[in-house]
Amino acid sequence: MPDNWGFVTAAYAVAAVILGGYWRMLIRKERTVTALRASSGPGTGARAEAEGGVRDDHTSRSRQPSRPGHPRPEPAPRPPLQ
């Protein structure tokens, strides 16, 4: 019987592509989760919005000390009174 090296190569290549694809998907998911966790700190971001709170970026930002060379950003517009 002929050796059919093309089929052997194809089988190992397909396995490598599937495993490599899954590995890349895991890395992408890890990055997404890391970004999600970074944006959902206590009292801000996604978590605050999910809890029905109001983002108070202007108050937290105003308490941050200004760094030399980086001008303090303009405060966000005041949220409407409830």
Partner 1 sequence: MTTLLGWLAGVALVAGLVMGFGVAPREVSQGNVQRIMYVHVPAVWVAYLAFAVGLAASIAYLAGRRPGADRLAHATCEVGTVFLGINIATGAIWGKPTWGTWWTWDARLTSVAVVFVMFLAYLLLRGAIEDRERGARYAAVLGIVAALNIPLVHFSVYWWRTLHQPPSLLKPGASTMPPVILTALLVNFAALALLGAYFVARRTRVLAAEDEALA
CB of 58 to partner 1, least distance (A): 25
CB of 49 to partner 1, least distance (A): 12
CB 75 within 8 A of CB 62: yes
Classify the C-alpha dihedral 22-27-31-33 as positive or negative.
positive
Please compute Rg for the chain using Cα positions.
Answer: 25
Is 43 a binder of partner 1 (CB under 8 A)?
Answer: no
**9/59 with CB nearer partner 1:** 9
- 38 vs 40: CA distance, rounded Å: 6
Interface ranges with partner 1 (CB under 8 A):
1-5, 7-8, 10-12, 14-15, 18-19, 22-23, 26, 29-30, 33-34, 36-37, 40, 46, 50
